[in-house]
């Protein structure tokens, strides 16, 4: 920086241009290395494959620590510039073309024949010279390529449209503020136009019926309701009625609107008139919320985790737990270092919360350190949660069963699968974040070769990484709390195992367990807690607590701890 400040304004611009050209040269060298990597099929040979195979991008992914989509894009870029359109690579290597313009050219000539694509490249490259006085922006370059492509091949636009339509999909992702977005990509424009018109028409009808919510909110609520199953089987009139019934002030609108117009509120309906049917509800399929028990009891405000969708704040987690009482509820006990001890199902619910219903396909997972649970029960912080705490304690002290011992089975039973997924939250592939619950349960020592179906030999992998291991020659083993992948080119990459309950900064002057009353009998039941066999492959028998002790009840005169 100091050196630049000694230069004139004219000289600084020259340095800027040269640094940008250097960046282009380095990117060209990177793409060349990527292309050579994907053509290698053996660790100790200089032979190259004619073309990359299905697993070539995975070597790049592991070597550079990329996600699979990012590695695939990089390999595709290397193919375009180093193989299909070598003039682009040559211009980048010479510092005359930057990566951004090279990508625009490669992307827009994809549907052209090689001969036509090369003609387009020859025509536009002189207009993309870095440092030149007339250098097209990426937007100008796109328009130039479109004009040339249609002139060279009148069928180009149709093929590009149909090819994109074949790649239509729906994509959901989180936003920076913790909300989410759902997008349909590469859709037929006439269907999108019809969908937008239908959403807009229903939203405007709701406004005319007196709904005071912003119309964008109404469109969004309709969009979610039509896709998550809430409005399944309803016609437009019924959807509109359900939307109006979902207003926060739906029960008071008639009186409020009448008062605003200076008219008396309408008389209440006769008692004999049937009650309106409740608004339909979503099945909540795909929702798996992991939340700390201490957060639900109000002892802290730690974030919860929605599998595949990242974290959510404590207030939203509590709201979802209240709303999803009908979901399947799991418990997860952890040892002092945050790893899994045991997991299972609980049918108990807080007082006033709905019981389990098969129509609700969501999962609520309550996580609590095993050593802390007895103290939480003793403290009786929230009486409405008493049934849940009592049931969790029963599970904590239940004797050992054979429910997880399926060594000869090809596929693990539901309880064993649940334990593996609870211990290992995501695919164990290099850099993969696919939720474990949606993947395969893989035998590290293959079942066909004598591997047992026990926690110490199982781990979750997405379907792609399962095939990388079984078909691409990659090897996987576990060493302590680390998975070790060896690629077919001989490189080793590590995937560390993360604790179920990560150690987060304290939110109070003292930790909750420091203030909770201590019962020596309770504390003796489960300490030191040991990890589940799904975590520790050196153990073949799970550690169990001592036989169940009589559960002491808090004395009614005891004061609750000061929280």
Model confidence pLDDT, tens digit, residues 365-399: 999 999 999 999 888 888 999 999 999 999 998 87
3-class secondary-structure state, position 475: strand
Q: Does residue 562 have a pLDDT over 80?
A: no
Q: In terms of domains, do 201 and 136 share one? A: no
Query: How confident is the model at residue 177, as a pLDDT?
Result: 86
Query: How confident is the model at residue 278, as a pLDDT?
Result: 53
Residue 229 located in a structural domain? yes
pLDDT per residue as tens digits for the range 395-453: 998 876 555 566 778 888 888 899 999 999 899 998 888 889 888 999 999 888 888 99
Query: How confident is the model at residue 184, as a pLDDT?
Result: 93
DSSP 8-state code for residue 458: E
Q: In terms of domains, do 28 and 138 share one? A: yes
Domain boundary among 450, 470, 496: 496
CA angle 430, 431, 435 (to 5 degrees): 100
Residue 403 located in a structural domain? no
Q: Does residue 77 have a pLDDT over 90?
A: yes
CA distance 327 to 278: 19
Quickly tell me which residue has 């799904």 as its tokens: 534
pLDDT per residue as tens digits for the range 235-244: 999 999 999 9
Q: Does residue 266 have a pLDDT over 60?
A: no
What is the pTM assigned to this prediction? Answer: 0.75
Residue 311 located in a structural domain? no
Domain containing 431: what range? 414-496
What mean pLDDT value characterizes the chain? 83
Q: In terms of domains, do 130 and 204 share one? A: no
Query: How confident is the model at residue 507, as a pLDDT?
Result: 72
Query: How confident is the model at residue 522, as a pLDDT?
Result: 37
Residue 298 located in a structural domain? no
Query: How confident is the model at residue 75, as a pLDDT?
Result: 97
Q: In terms of domains, do 155 and 187 share one? A: no
Residue 54 located in a structural domain? yes
Grade residue 280 by pLDDT with cuts at 50, 70 and 90. low
Q: In terms of domains, do 160 and 119 share one? A: yes
Residue 152 located in a structural domain? yes
pLDDT per residue as tens digits for the range 446-494: 888 888 998 889 999 999 999 999 999 999 999 989 999 999 999 999 9
Q: In terms of domains, do 103 and 190 share one? A: no
Q: In terms of domains, do 151 and 57 share one? A: yes
When mean pLDDT is compared across 101-110, 261-270, 283-292, the lowest value belongs to 261-270
CA distance 324 to 301: 19
Residue 171 located in a structural domain? no
Q: In terms of domains, do 197 and 55 share one? A: no
pLDDT > 90: percent of the chain: 56
Is the separation of the CB atoms in 450 and 17 below 8 Å? no
3-class secondary-structure state, position 489: coil
Q: Does residue 129 have a pLDDT over 80?
A: yes
Q: In terms of domains, do 90 and 197 share one? A: no
Total count of domains within the chain: 3
Query: How confident is the model at residue 536, as a pLDDT?
Result: 46
Query: How confident is the model at residue 19, as a pLDDT?
Result: 94
Instruction: Please compute the mean of the pLDDT values over residues 35-52 and round it to a whole number.
Output: 94
3-class secondary-structure state, position 476: strand
Domain boundary among 452, 481, 496: 496
Q: In terms of domains, do 195 and 109 share one? A: no
Query: How confident is the model at residue 106, as a pLDDT?
Result: 95
Greatest CA separation for the chain: 90
Domain boundary among 99, 131, 166: 166
Count CB neighbours of 300 within 10 A: 17
Query: How confident is the model at residue 254, as a pLDDT?
Result: 43
Q: Does residue 54 have a pLDDT over 70?
A: yes
Q: In terms of domains, do 209 and 72 share one? A: no
Q: 41: burial class by Cβ within 10 Å (0-12, 13-18, 19+)? A: middle
Query: How confident is the model at residue 552, as a pLDDT?
Result: 40
Q: Does residue 189 have a pLDDT over 70?
A: yes
Q: In terms of domains, do 37 and 156 share one? A: yes
Q: Cα dist. 324→243, 281, 365, 538 in Å? A: 20, 11, 11, 38
Residue 240 located in a structural domain? yes
Query: How confident is the model at residue 281, as a pLDDT?
Result: 66
Grade residue 358 by pLDDT with cuts at 50, 70 and 90. confident
3-class secondary-structure state, position 540: coil
């Amino acid at each position: 920086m100091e050196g630049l400040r000694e230069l004139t304004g004219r000289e600084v611009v020259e340095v800027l241009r040269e640094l940008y050209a250097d960046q282009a040269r380095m990117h060209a060298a990177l793409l060349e290395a990527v292309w050579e990597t994907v053509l290698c099929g053996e660790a100790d040979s200089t032979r190259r494959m004619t073309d990359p195979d299905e697993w070539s991008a995975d070597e790049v992914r592991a070597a550079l620590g990329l996600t699979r989509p990012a590695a695939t894009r990089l390999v595709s870029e290397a193919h375009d510039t180093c193989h299909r359109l070598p003039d682009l690579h040559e211009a980048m290597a010479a510092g005359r073309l930057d990566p951004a313009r090279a990508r625009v050219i490669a992307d827009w000539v994809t549907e052209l024949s090689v001969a036509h694509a090369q003609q387009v490249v020859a025509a536009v490259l002189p207009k993309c010279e870095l440092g030149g006085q007339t250098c097209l922006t990426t937007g100008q370059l796109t328009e130039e390529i479109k004009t040339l492509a249609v002139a060279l091949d009148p069928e180009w636009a149709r093929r590009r449209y149909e090819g994109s339509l074949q790649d239509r999909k729906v994509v959901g992702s989180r936003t920076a503020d913790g909300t989410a977005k759902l997008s349909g990509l590469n859709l037929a424009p006439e269907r999108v136009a019809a969908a937008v018109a239908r959403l807009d028409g229903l939203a405007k009808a709701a406004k005319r019926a007196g709904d005071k919510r912003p119309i964008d909110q109404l469109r969004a609520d309709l969009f979610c309701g039509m896709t998550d199953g809430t409005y399944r089987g309803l016609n437009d009139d019924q959807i509109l009625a359900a939307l109006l019934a979902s207003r926060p002030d739906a029960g008071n609108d008639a009186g409020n609107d009448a008062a605003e117009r200076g008219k008396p509120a309408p008389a209440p309906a006769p008692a004999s008139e049937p009650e309106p049917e409740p608004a339909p509800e979503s099945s909540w399929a795909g929702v798996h919320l992991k939340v700390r028990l201490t957060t639900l009891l109000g002892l802290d405000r730690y974030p919860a985790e929605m599998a595949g969708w990242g974290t959510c704040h404590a207030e939203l987690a509590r709201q979802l737990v209240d709303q999803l009482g009908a979901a399947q509820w799991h418990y997860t006990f952890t040892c002092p270092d945050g790893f899994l001890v045991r997991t299972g199902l609980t049918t108990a619910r807080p007082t006033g919360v709905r019981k389990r219903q098969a129509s609700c396909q969501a999962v609520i997972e309550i996580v609590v350190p095993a050593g802390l649970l007895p103290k939480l029960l003793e403290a009786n912080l929230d009486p409405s949660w008493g049934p849940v705490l009592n049931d969790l304690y029963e599970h904590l002290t239940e004797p050992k069963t054979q429910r997880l011992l399926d060594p000869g089975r090809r596929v693990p039973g539901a309880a064993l699968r649940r334990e593996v997924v609870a211990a290992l939250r995501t695919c164990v592939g290099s850099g993969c974040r696919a939720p474990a619950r949606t993947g395969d349960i893989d035998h590290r020592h293959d079942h066909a070769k004598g591997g047992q179906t026990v926690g110490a030999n199982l781990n979750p992998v997405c379907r792609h990484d399962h095939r990388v291991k079984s078909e691409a020659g990659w090897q996987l083993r576990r060493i302590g709390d680390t998975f070790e992948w060896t690629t077919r080119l001989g490189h080793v990459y590590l995937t560390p195992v993360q604790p179920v309950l990560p150690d987060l900064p304290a939110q109070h002057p003292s930790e909750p367990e420091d203030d909770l009353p201590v019962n020596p009998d309770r504390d003796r039941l489960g300490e030191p807690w040991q990890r589940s066999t799904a975590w520790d492959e050196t153990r073949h028998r799970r550690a169990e607590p001592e036989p169940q002790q009589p559960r002491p009840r808090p004395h009614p005169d005891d004061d609750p701890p000061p929280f």
